[in-house]
Amino acid sequence: MSSKSLQPLRIGVAGLGTVGTGLLQLLASNGQRMAAILGRPLQVVAVSTRNKDRDRGVALDRLRWVADATKLATDPEIDVFVELIGGADGVPKAAVEAALHAGKHVVTANKALLARHGVALAKLAEGKGVALNFEAAVAGGIPIIKTMREALAGNGVRRVYGILNGTCNYILTKMQDEGLAFNDVLKEAQAKGYAEADPTFDIGGFDTAHKLTLLTSLAFGTEVAFDQIHIEGIETITLADIQAADDLGYRIKLLGVALTTDAGIESRVHPAMVPKHAAIAQVAGVTNAVAIDGDFAGDLLLVGPGAGAKATASAVASDLCDIARGLHLPPFATPSANLKPYARAPLGTHKGAYYVRLTAHDRPGVMAAITTRMGEQGVSLESIVQRRPRAALPGIGATPLPGAQTPVILITHETTEAAIRKALDGIEADGKVAAKPQTIRIEKL
């Protein structure tokens, strides 16, 4: 072994939150074993963090502290800049750009940064001959980036989809298992630290969309295009939807889905009904799952912890190991100069079955009007379930309530998004429903 191979890989870490601290703990626990495998040690030599004095449960006394993350990024005594600050712009973006310009390798967990600026950063990294690695940016400890960038290089990917946000999966699982309302489970998730005080980024689907942006580029060799993803969150999912899905043989999951079609690429984030027998339907709690359909490898499913100090630190360490071995691949597998422009398929062309829940006025002619509007758009109905509210009257028992608002559940055969939307617009315009219809796509996985 040459003396050069024994030189440590010198690392500067910006951000000592959950992941940064987890990385220091991992290197303290497994550093010697990793050095034996790699032929050189991974050595953190400097850190940048807003609060130098906070007790993080790891020894920092031997590390040099640099107040400015951008200065750390260009520090001549580091080989790799690890960015764990987070955020699409500002200091993280400036620091990563500075590191790449200075010829430093970069490892980041920053999905928002890459979803917005990934192509420009990839071009810069490739031009400087350095690595830009981001295994930790998607699905925590699941090695999905390495799998798609390396292990599936010989495959044409037809579709990639998955559960990419543990907060949403936890909420939907608790609603399913314990019959709890959305707001009650959200409060519990916040109390346990699974959800932020402002949970919009998670429950609104934006976190999933950032991750799906990166998977879409890796899968289809396109430029990152966060602003082209259709995004829906789980805020409108009610216990009634969860229970209806269960009765119909489905589970509701927030999915990120990207696939190629004749009209272009569909990249969408939304709640979906998946068959109970599908493997992804069994993924519960804060666990993540990513499925890939390859033309030669077939259907693959990777399941594991999608967040947390240990799982995400493991992903960061994986990227550092690649750099220590001298493995530098184009960040998005395809060289940035060969990435194709993203060609978005209009959402209206999406084809599939739908679950629709209507709050209908219980009076003559309502159901006929609803089915007429569906028929006008060529939407064929597989089933209609109407559950009329009933009240117990003394000496009589349960009796229908005249004129009450009645939940009506429709399951369609395969149709287009445009057709179902036009039909529902017509139903609302007719005044036959008392609330905005709830629509959930049914995914046949």
Positions marked catalytic: 211
> How many angstroms separate the CA atoms of 262 and 170, rounded?
35
Q: Report which residue type is found at 277.
A: H
User: How large is the C-alpha radius of gyration of the chain?
Assistant: 25
DSSP 3-state of 300: strand
Enter the DSSP assignment of 139.
S
Amino acid at 433: V
Residue 52 neighbours by CB under 8 Å, 6+ apart: 65
Which stretches of 226-372 are assigned E, i.e. beta strand? Answer: 230-231, 250-261, 264-275, 287-294, 298-305, 351-361
* Helix/strand/coil for 207: helix
Contact predicate 134/110, CB 8 Å = yes
CA distances (Å), origin 107, targets 14, 69, 83, 375: 10, 14, 6, 54
Distance CA 48, CA 103 (A): 19
Question: What proportions of the chain, in percent to the nearest 5, are helix, strand and coil?
Answer: 40, 25, 35
Query: Beta 264-275 vs 230-231: how paired, if at all?
Result: parallel
- Pairing between β-strand 298-305 and β-strand 287-294 as defined by DSSP bridges: antiparallel
CA gap 189, 237 in Å, rounded: 16
Pull the structure tokens for residue 400: 């229908």
CA neighbor of 15 nearest in space, from 69, 56, 55, 73: 69
Nearest to 321 by CA among 147, 105, 154, 153: 105
State the virtual CA torsion across 210, 216, 219, 222 in degrees, nearest 10. Answer: -120
- And the tokens for 122? 């990839």
DSSP for 3-68?
Answer: TGGGS-EEEEEE--SHHHHHHHHHHHHHHHHHHHHHTS-EEEEEEE-S-SS---SS--TTSEE-S-
